[in-house]
Structure 1
Amino acid sequence: MRVLICGGTGFLGKHIVNALSQSGHDPVVRSRHSSPALDFSRCTAPEQWLEHLQNIDAVINAVGALRDKPGQDLQTLHMKAPAALFEACAQAGVRRVVQVSALGVDKSETRYATTKRAADDYLLALGELDQLNPVVVRPSIIFGGGGSSSKLFLLLAGLPLLPLPSVMRSAHIQPVAVRDLAEVLAKMAVSTTPSGVIEIGGPEPVSIERFIASLRSQMEYGPARVRLLPNWLSKASASMGDRLPWMPWCSEAAALLENDNITNPQTLADLLGRAPVDIRDMLATLPKGGRLHA
């Protein structure tokens, strides 16, 4: 099958492309860095998508951003452009559409969550009308080489003295290896099932503090000395991150952590047909040379 991957040159997208290729399918990549290039922020009408859907059997939308940036408005990136894509798929007869969303967007009112949720709902509504066969995949934190959150976790894991916002001790996540998630998404694209909303998390819910400690242990370092930041300093650190476009820790991320980011771990294992990568083996999934050293 020929599968269009929107965002196919990104962190997750590259792994989806590889998973499709390894299973004998033909991935077609579209992003600002592909050839031909496609700028999601400019494709807000169905007719702008039709040429990219010629001879396409299924679509995976893996485009996303944590917050607004110059030339990267979340309302356009997460809702307007995907809605136009979904409408174009219905017009072109491309029924299978896989939307990569995020776990917890149904519980948060952040700009990230509301724009992602709006696109999810739009796609599912087209499915209710039998115009598409959609599946919305909502993963927990994704870990792997090249991921911005992963880089931050690895950097923190290398610190012998670890200053942490208190939410990183109280909030729980369910890290999923990017290769596991990509394999699932590739399987979904070339299948007619499942449909609806699928929540995906790794095999174990952990606090961010404990996940960082696990990464540090895998680096063969002793336990770090943890210092929890007071609330005012936690907020100040998130506000500072707001001013740094490359920083994954920001006010939006802090707000998303107000709710636990966890789900049934068996779903991922069932979809893979095997045991997923354990958090204690996450470092082994990185490309050679991808580890950080303190």
Structure 2
Amino acid sequence: MATDGRLRILVCGATGLIGRALCARLEASGHEVFRGMRTPIFANDIAIDYTSDFSVEDWLPRVKGMDVVVNAVGIIVETGANRFDAIHHRAPAALFRASAEAGVTRIVQVSALGAIDGDTPYFQSKRAADDVLRQLPVSSRILYPSLVYAEDGDSARMFRTLASLPLIPVPALGDAKFQPVHVDDVVDAAMLAIASSTASASSIDVVGLHPVSYRAMLDAYRAGMQFPPARWITIPRPVMTIAARVAGFVPGSKLTTDNWRMLQYGCHADAAPMTQTLGRPPLAIDQFISRNDAPALRQHAMAAWRLPMLRAVMAMIWLATAFVTLFAYPIADSLAMLHAVGLDGTLATVALYGAVGVDAAMGMACLFYRGRGLWALQAAIVLGYSLVIAIAMPEFLWHPFGPVLKNLPILAILLILYTEQPSWNT
């Protein structure tokens, strides 16, 4: 450590939610921060790979000369080589042992609230690394954060999106309580852990001020974004259990059987130790969203479900049109309409089935293609269809069902998708 109190600190998981915020705070405080990440970007970045760095020898060159090591790496679902035992246990255990051997003066471990007695693979893997750290002859602090709220956090975005729905689905969770904690309070707790001079191992539950039900949590986010009171629909536990089993087969799905079990457990603890540590109460959930941020967060939350909904509606329109033309509507009547525009015989048959192919292709593209050009192409097709029908069969312009006029809202949807596509992708 430098004589001016400046520390050399390795933060593993520096691109994650907590790691990113912690690195920014440490740098602002004047410390020399080394960011551990899979793909280094800047000079002080250190390449790490928690899917394979399982030996002390892997970590010794990286931790040599560090004053403090922070482990903030974590996953919520397993994908590919990212397995709980590797990411949460084997790699951190090797990191901790190497740090103790290299003379690192303090280790801060970001675990998870529930890891002490949780029985899912997620909790078990976290607990295994925590146990290794406690047994080492090095000063350490284990943080047990609850659900972490940050404006740019994935889980916070998901909860805000759910809270913005006109009808909010809520799983039947009984008495389960949750105690979200703001990322700023998590970082404050981590900064105090880094600065601590305590020589022994210690731990703290990092939670917000009050426990709330799942519904109350979403209601707080909804109120924070300045929405009117919500309408709710309760999803029975058996339905959620089946949904979790099915969703578990979808790669990257956050809803799995284990995550559904953890949701039923809840996630809360006594806030008194956190208050004592910070020297003030942690933020309450109704303080997470400021009035200034509310309008932008409200728009982002609604965009997260409105644009996919419009995309799905367009897919349904194109695919339903292809299905109806091919299987439901009389082919002879379709050919008669083509006759009205000057197409007969083989040419009409080719045009009919070609249109079916185009409709089906456009419908599938709505589901799987992300380019903005798709919406411009579809608008051109709709305008082309509308123009031909208006000229060849003008009676459809004043038909009481408005088959041509209904293309106007379709064009409006396409314009929204075209202009909003970049933000939908983010």
Residue of structure 2 in register with 1:209 after alignment: 215
2:283 to 271, 277, 284: 277
CA distance in structure 2 between the aligned counterparts of 1:246 and 1:53, rounded to whole angstroms: 32
Can you list the C-alpha shifts for 1:132-162, whole angstroms capped at 9, x where unaligned? 1111111111111232211210110101101
- Taking only aligned residues, the RMSD between alpha carbons, in angstroms, comes to 2.0
CA distance in structure 2 between the aligned counterparts of 1:286 and 1:51, rounded to whole angstroms: 43
1:1-294 equivalent positions in 2, closer than 5 A: 1-34=7-40, 35-126=45-136, 131-167=137-173, 170-193=175-198, 195-284=201-290, 289-291=296-298, 292-294=300-302
Q: Does the 8 A contact of 2:12 with 2:71 survive in 1?
A: yes
Deviation at 1:245, TM superposition (A): 4.4
Q: Does the 8 A contact of 1:7 with 1:31 survive in 2?
A: yes
Can you list the C-alpha shifts for 1:87-116, whole angstroms capped at 9, x where unaligned? 101110113111111111122210001010
CA distance in structure 2 between the aligned counterparts of 1:286 and 1:62, rounded to whole angstroms: 27
CA distance in structure 2 between the aligned counterparts of 1:11 and 1:213, rounded to whole angstroms: 23
Q: Does the 8 A contact of 1:161 with 1:224 survive in 2?
A: yes
CA distance in structure 2 between the aligned counterparts of 1:107 and 1:136, rounded to whole angstroms: 15
Can you list the C-alpha shifts for 1:157-204, whole angstroms capped at 9, x where unaligned? 10110112112x531111100111012112211322383221121001
Task: Go from structure 1 to structure 2 and tell me whether the alpha carbon gap of 1:235 and 1:264 turns closer, same or farther (over 3 Å shift).
Answer: same
What is the SS of the residue equivalent to 2:51? helix
| Number of equivalences | 289
What is the SS of the residue equivalent to 2:18? helix
Residues 194-203 or 101-110, more deviating: 194-203
Structure 2 unaligned spans of 5+: 1-6, 303-426
Q: Does the 8 A contact of 1:110 with 1:252 survive in 2?
A: yes
Q: Does the 8 A contact of 2:11 with 2:71 survive in 1?
A: yes
What is the SS of the residue equivalent to 2:81? coil
Residues 183-192 or 103-112, more deviating: 183-192
Deviation at 1:33, TM superposition (A): 3.3
Residues 154-163 or 261-270, more deviating: 261-270
Can you list the C-alpha shifts for 1:261-294, whole angstroms capped at 9, x where unaligned? 2111122222222332221121239799455343
CA distance in structure 2 between the aligned counterparts of 1:265 and 1:245, rounded to whole angstroms: 36
Q: Which amino acid aligns with 1:93?
A: G
Deviation at 1:7, TM superposition (A): 0.2
CA distance in structure 1 between the aligned counterparts of 2:282 and 2:39, rounded to whole angstroms: 31
Q: Which has the higher helix share?
A: 2
Q: Does the 8 A contact of 2:134 with 2:201 survive in 1?
A: no
CA distance in structure 2 between the aligned counterparts of 1:254 and 1:204, rounded to whole angstroms: 22
How does the TM-score come out when normalised to structure 2? Answer: 0.64
Deviation at 1:5, TM superposition (A): 0.5
Structure 1 unaligned spans of 5+: none
CA distance in structure 2 between the aligned counterparts of 1:273 and 1:87, rounded to whole angstroms: 32
Deviation at 1:257, TM superposition (A): 2.6
Deviation at 1:37, TM superposition (A): 2.2
Q: Does the 8 A contact of 2:138 with 2:201 survive in 1?
A: no
Deviation at 1:244, TM superposition (A): 4.0
How does the TM-score come out when normalised to structure 1? Answer: 0.91
What is the SS of the residue equivalent to 2:47? coil
Deviation at 1:233, TM superposition (A): 1.4
Task: Go from structure 1 to structure 2 and tell me whether the alpha carbon gap of 1:137 and 1:85 turns closer, same or farther (over 3 Å shift).
Answer: same
Sequence identity of aligned pairs in percent? 32
Larger Rg: 2
CA distance in structure 1 between the aligned counterparts of 2:288 and 2:167, rounded to whole angstroms: 22
Residues 280-289 or 88-97, more deviating: 280-289
Q: Which amino acid aligns with 1:150?
A: A
